[in-house]
């Protein structure tokens, strides 16, 4: 009996060690690319392409100084504006759409609700050509307003589906009591429903900011030089037939581009987990 107990404990110990090894390996695979990009961004130009790669060297801020004076701040301003404004508009419209889908009965309601989820499976790049034609005819190419409108095609479907699940959790009795007290439907929405799903709205807003920050194809195709966010501005260091690829500046630009998203994800991770755990997405 004692031998079986020892064997069982040994197996559990080995299983625990194996889990730690797998998790450590997965964390290394996930973190190493970001670490290597940062390491490359502070390498002197002469040691960037050294073989074997040097891990010990004298760090330099030359690459960061170069990009800060070459359009980075303008691209950062564009990214902040597009991310915050488009996500705020998206979550506002999605809240109203989701509330309507959960509170009003009409023919095709379930089909319409599912369409918001199903559209996420459509490759967004297939919509860019007709969207480019429409935006061009309306004179919205290379404009912040046009990009914000285009971003809504990405925001509204998943935000509506996410918020719909939270509005379904609100008991109808609360809203009925509010209407008995004299509130209109809009009053019930703003004074009862919205405050009760405020954490979910915050989570959707933060997710929307992250997704908008990472957008590439929309601003690349529908935008221009003056509206380029950080993801598109990175391309200026790729090089071409007559200019070399500037690896150090690429690494510095990439490091400053991904760092805000990583920090934001760490800060709000509990809210994001709460949002998805409480939804049926």
CATH homologous superfamily of domain 62-277?
Answer: MetI-like (1.10.3720.10)
Q: What's the mean pLDDT when you consider all of the chain?
A: 82
pLDDT the model gives residue 238: 65
Contact 68, 189 (CB under 8 A): no
Q: Which of the two residues, 81 and 70, has the higher pLDDT score?
A: 81
Collect all residues with Cβ–Cβ distance below 8 Å to 78 and sequence separation of at least 6.
144, 227, 228, 229, 230
Q: What pTM does this model have?
A: 0.82
Nearest to 162 by CA among 88, 89, 98, 90: 98
Is-contact 226 141, C-beta < 8 A?
A: no
The sign one gets for the Cα dihedral 256, 261, 263, 264 is positive
- Closest Cα to residue 230, out of 64, 75, 86, 68? 75
Say if residue 280's pLDDT is above 50.
no
Give the pLDDT confidence of 251-279 residue by residue, as tens digits. 888 888 988 888 888 777 766 666 555 54
Q: What is the CA radius of gyration of the chain?
A: 25
Domain boundaries, given as residue ranges, for the chain: 2-41, 62-277
């Amino acid at each position: 009996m004692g031998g079986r107990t020892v064997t069982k404990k040994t197996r559990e110990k080995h299983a625990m060690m194996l889990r730690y090894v797998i998790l450590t390996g997965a964390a290394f695979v996930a973190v190493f690319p970001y670490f290597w990009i940062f390491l490359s961004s502070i390498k002197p130009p002469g040691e960037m392409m050294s073989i074997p790669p040097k891990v010990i060297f004298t760090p330099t801020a030359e690459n960061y100084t170069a990009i800060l004076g070459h359009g980075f701040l303008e691209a950062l301003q564009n990214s902040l504006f597009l991310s915050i404004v488009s996500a705020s508009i998206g979550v506002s419209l999605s809240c109203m759409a989701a509330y309507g889908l959960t509170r009003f009965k009409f023919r095709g309601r379930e089909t319409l609700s599912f369409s918001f989820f199903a559209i996420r499976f459509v490759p967004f790049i297939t919509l860019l050509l007709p969207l480019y034609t429409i935006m061009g005819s309306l004179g919205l190419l290379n404009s912040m307003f046009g990009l914000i409108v285009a971003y809504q095609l990405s925001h509204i479907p998943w935000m509506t589906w996410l918020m719909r699940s939270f509005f379904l959790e609100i008991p109808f009795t609360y809203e009925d009591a509010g209407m008995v007290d004299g509130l209109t439907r809009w009053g019930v929405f703003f004074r009862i429903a919205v405050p009760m799903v405020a954490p979910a709205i915050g989570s959707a807003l933060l997710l929307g900011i992250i997704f908008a920050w990472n957008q590439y194809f929309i601003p690349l195709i529908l935008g221009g030089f003056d509206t380029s966010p950080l993801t598109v501005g990175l391309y200026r260091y790729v090089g071409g037939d007559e200019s070399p690829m500037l690896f150090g500046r690429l690494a510095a630009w990439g490091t400053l581009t991904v760092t805000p998203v990583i920090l934001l994800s760490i800060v709000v991770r509990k809210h994001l987990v709460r949002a998805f755990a409480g939804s049926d997405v």
